[in-house]
Amino acid sequence: MDGIYVSSDVGPQSGVQPVSVMPTGQSEGDVTGAPVRITDGLVDAILARLATVPPERGGALLAAGGLVHLLVEDSSARYSRTSWDISTALSATVGEIEAAGHGTLAGTVHTHPPGVPEPSSTDIATTRDALGLNPHLGELVIAIVTEGTPREHDLPVGSRHRMSLHVLRRNHTGQPSLARVRGAVVPLAADLAAAGITIASATSITSWRRRRRGRTARLRAELPTVITLNHSPRLAVRVRSARPAALLIHPGYPQVGPVAVTGRQDAGGLAVLQPLPSPWDPVTEPCPQLAALARAAAGRRIAGSTKRVWPVVGALSGRRVLIAGAGSVGSRIAEDLVRSGVGAFTVIDPDRVDAPNLARTIYSAADIGAPKPDALARRLQAIDPAAVVDRHATPLGTTDLPQALAGVSLVIAATDDMTEQALLAHHAYAAGLPLVACALYKKAAAGEVVLSVPAAGTACWWCAVGAGTPSDSYRPDRDYGLHGRLAGESALGPSVHLVAGVAASAALGLLAGPRSQAGRHLKRLLSQRRTLGLIATTPAWGFFKTVFAGMDHQHAPQSVWVRVDPDANCPVCGACPVPPLDAQAGTEIAAIISERRQNFDHESPVRFP
């Protein structure tokens, strides 16, 4: 920006080029165009910095899109009772502030003596010159503040002052024309303050150019930054947080809601911001919605959210759980865990949310088409903004499992393929990590939950459900009839969630430990090596009708926990274990599974009796 103004006063000015000017003393019909939107914080800054001292006092206005939000006080100007000699430093300072990304020149504001609420010919001439120096701008605002009762369409400034707004804009002939416009105060600063966030609405030449670098850097950091999101300028307001966090305010606030963003520091120390789900209802009070978005951006857990589960499980915010398979089972377990206070997750699933998933998962219609790890992360962080979710939209075979398992407290195996379950379970056992595996049988008439806890000396997952194991006589077909893949059969969500709920309860017990209320019931199962749970969701499934024969009071759900002893020859938990498959072998397994799935997807629908 090359310059702004030369001078401004309320006296006559000779040599002024013609400008189409609307006459003073306008009636309501004379006010034209859309209103100038000004933040409440800016109005307060104008009162404190300009209106509380005798006229004239002035400064430049900066905007983010159509929202005027920042005053740059001309602290280097020469003032008299009837004039403001705009300093050359103001032009340079505004250019620096623009270059720093804090807004775009929108016009000027200055005080006049009482009884002079309209711009003078000099005001108009200098604004016209500024418009000529800034060809990228289509219009500039002239805001005049005087003592007196606000007229219609004036904005009140404090209890004793008023502000009239005028816009000098280029018309179709290229010549500037002046019109008086309405003003609209946007309650942004007040709403942000209610959410615990402060926003700077003013600076000055002196403040901006302080020699002490630390204070200057601090000032520049406090000023909101204007960034572009989806081709729209947004006012980026910082949210206090241990991680980079901000709210991106749309110029149409509060009718259009902000976007919450969070991020991390990259290798170069720069903040990489990631937009978060930012629902907004324009007809609902904005303050609580702003507070919710601020919590999401900052990653702050809602106080008291785990008050009713803490006595059962204790504090789990420092635990990380790996969840492989984010479908109807994995997503439900993840939600139960985050609601119980688990603080971090690693989610692995190569699939996307599809329409049939809506019947039995925690996903919504808005998630359709999204990778399941991303959709699950949004859901978990909507429940607990502090939750950390690492996402891997890759098959298990192509995922670096040793790296993914680093720092994990518990593994949830909820994939729909036995080969993948075996691969993950082997890695988990080799790493000494407890594992909860959950799977549904045909038509979700029953399901299984497998517990594998190396520290407790239990059998591994393969000893519980592998080929030739003693549990074979209790279980249905091991491969579900589809080459190891669980079919997407017709079944009600409650049946699926019932089995998933048993798995989630076991997972919480393992995380909380044997001394906790949640973990006590597992002590007996683990000590007796009863680590295979069969849960029937229908009244007469499998052997249950024989076990409970003659007991008419029995009804689903029902469960039996089968004893599983480790096999000394097991390659996973036996006397001579072998290392888990390496990445190359895992990739080959992933390719085989992918091929089987593609073949299955092209086959005729499978029907079950």
pTM recorded for the entire structure: 0.74
Residue 9 has pLDDT above 90, yes or no: no
Residue 294's pLDDT band (cuts 50, 70, 90):
very high
Lowest mean pLDDT across 115-119, 227-231, 232-236, 464-468: 464-468
| Average pLDDT, integer, range 68-73 | 98
Which structure tokens are listed for 417? 């393929």
Separation between Cα atoms, residue 346 and residue 54, nearest integer Å: 62
What pLDDT score was predicted for residue 352?
96
- CA triple 102-103-104, angle to 5 deg: 145
Rounded Cα distance between 265 and 268, Å, is 8
For the record, the structure tokens of 590 come out as: 């992933």
pLDDT digits (tens, 9 = 90+) for 127-181: 998 888 888 888 999 999 999 999 999 999 999 999 999 999 887 776 788 999 9
Percent of the chain with pLDDT over 70: 85
Higher pLDDT, 592 or 444: 444
Q: Contact 572/469 with Cβ under 8 angstroms?
A: no
Q: Long-range contacts: 351-359, Cβ < 8 Å, 24+?
A: 351/326, 351/327, 356/488, 357/327, 357/328, 359/493
**Span 181-208, average pLDDT:** 94
Over residues 97-113, the pLDDT tens digits come to 999 999 999 999 999 99
Give the pLDDT of residue 27. Answer: 39
pLDDT per residue over 258-268, tens digit each?
999 987 665 56
Which whole number is the average pLDDT over 313-332? 95
What is the predicted pLDDT for the residue at 469? Answer: 67
pLDDT attached to residue 17: 37
pLDDT > 90 fraction of the chain, expressed in percent and rounded: 59
Q: How high does pLDDT run on average in the chain? A: 85
Whether the pLDDT of residue 47 is over 70: the answer is: yes
- How high is the pLDDT of residue 441? 85
Residue 485 DSSP class = B
Which tens digit of pLDDT belongs to each residue from 358-392? Answer: 999 999 999 999 999 999 999 998 899 889 999 99
Question: Could you give the CA distance from residue 414 to residue 188 in angstroms, rounded to a whole number?
Answer: 46
Name the pLDDT band for 319 (thresholds 50, 70, 90): very high
Residue range 446-450: mean pLDDT, rounded: 92
Residues 239 and 108 sit within 8 Å (Cβ to Cβ): no
* Nearest one of 555, 517, 418 to 476, comparing CA atoms: 418
Q: What is the pLDDT of residue 488?
A: 52
Write out pLDDT tens, residues 232-250: 899 999 998 888 899 999 9
Query: What is the pLDDT, as a whole number, of residue 3?
Result: 45
Is the pLDDT assigned to residue 453 strictly greater than 80?
yes
* pLDDT given for residue 262 in this prediction: 86
Task: Assess whether pLDDT exceeds 70 at residue 220.
Answer: no
Which residue segments constitute the domains of the chain, with CATH numbers given?
A: 8-189 (3.40.140.10), 234-300 (no CATH), 310-596 (3.40.50.720)
Tell me what pLDDT residue 256 has. Answer: 95
The pLDDT assigned to 1 comes to 41
HEC sequence for 383-432: HCCCCEEEEECCCHHHCCHHHHHCCCCEEEECCCEHHHHHHHHHHHHHCC
pLDDT of residue 271: 57
Which is higher by pLDDT, 211 or 560? 560
Q: b vs e for 334-371, b when ≥16 Cβ sit within 10 Å of the residue's Cβ? A: bbbbbbbbbbbbbbbbbbbbeeebeebbbbeeebeebb
pLDDT tens column, 491-531: 788 989 999 999 999 999 999 999 999 999 999 999 999 99
What CA–CA distance (Å, rounded) separates 59 from 70? Answer: 10
Confidence band, pLDDT 50/70/90 cuts, at residue 29? very low
C-alpha of 67 from chain center = 24
Per-residue pLDDT band at 20 (split at 50, 70, 90)? very low
Instruction: Say what angle helices 418-430 and 583-602 make with each other, to 10 degrees.
Output: 160
Read off the pLDDT of each residue in 58-63 and give the average, rounded to a whole number. 97
Q: Write down the pLDDT at residue 216.
A: 53
pLDDT band at 596 (very low <50, low <70, confident <90, very high): low
